[in-house]
Amino acid sequence: MSCRVRGPFCPAGAIALLERVSVMELHVPSYAKINLGLWIKGRRDDGFHEIETLLLQVSLKDDIVISDSESDEIELLCSDPTLPGGDDNLCVRAARLLQREAQVGRGAVIRLQKKIPAGAGLGGGSSNAAVVLLALNRLWGLDYGAERLQELAAELGSDVPFFIRGGAALARGRGEILEQVEWRLDLPILLVCPGISVSTAWAYGQFTLDLTMTKKNVTLPHFKGINFNDVDFLGGIENEFEQVVFPKFPILAEIKENLRAQAALYAGLSGSGSAVFGIFRREQEVLEAKRGVSSQFRTFVVRPMRWGIEQMSMDS
């Protein structure tokens, strides 16, 4: 059996054929997410912030090729040399966590081909970590279910549990309390990535308790009773990070207004940024909006999707 891999893992960017001999290997996608609305309810006793947001998986993806290894080493080969390696990388930490939890005496080689921009609020690193858990769960024959994998994922980061199931989900708590929702709106989405680094820790630090509690009852969920398959709900959501991020990075506010002027049903920041996205009714509209900003910034036209443990099981 074999699989093909493109990119810097191959000499001179050529296509290499990797033969499966004594080890097993999986080639798996690692999809991005956007936040449709995000409310910050206050700071918790554990130092995290209580939030409420709607997470939506989208079709922009990294690619991961992961191989079982007879040694107990975890090796990471990444196409982006600027990303951290070793235990500072979420992929390695995810593999070591599962290895330790399941007391597995085997290791893995992880080949990560990056396309999701880092530090953009699109969940690339979190998605990568979740996919490593899913793939090694298969390769090592652990048969852990979604709930157990989400418990482990929560140890790695607030966004990681979402990617175990993917799709669309309401996230509460620090982001790890998830409620899957049905999403049928197959609308085109334009992601605009200006390449600005926005520290999530800095963004949270700009909020005071008074600011987060102004003009809302923090005991009531903002998404209660919403029909997520009716586009009208988009008119009632907001990302509160915009209150502190836009004044410091006004170009992000300009991008949002540009997308709204191009007939976006909704435009806003994803997470704490710096990616800004717009949701459109028609393909022609999203392509026109892309032409208006693509000369200045990286852009991606994507669609909502779902890929997680269920889809991985169906692929087996």
Options 41, 62, 159, 290, the catalytic residue: 159
Options 33, 61, 114, 256, the catalytic residue: 33
Write the CB contacts of 123 (distance below 8 Å, at least 6 apart in sequence).
Answer: 32, 33, 55, 116, 159, 162, 163, 271
Write the CB contacts of 304 (distance below 8 Å, at least 6 apart in sequence).
Answer: 56, 57, 58, 59, 168, 183, 185, 186, 187, 189
Write the CB contacts of 219 (distance below 8 Å, at least 6 apart in sequence).
Answer: none
| Cα 111 from Cα 249, distance rounded (Å) | 34
DSSP assigned state of 197: -
CB-neighbour burial class of residue 61 (10 A; exposed 0-12, middle 13-18, buried 19+):
buried
Helix (H) or strand (E) holding 237: none
Answer whether the bond into residue 274 is a cis peptide, omega within 30°. Answer: yes
Write the CB contacts of 225 (distance below 8 Å, at least 6 apart in sequence).
Answer: none
Write the CB contacts of 99 (distance below 8 Å, at least 6 apart in sequence).
Answer: 72, 74, 106, 107, 136
Query: In the annotation, is 159 catalytic?
Result: yes
Query: In the annotation, is 68 catalytic?
Result: no
Active site (catalytic) residues: 33, 159
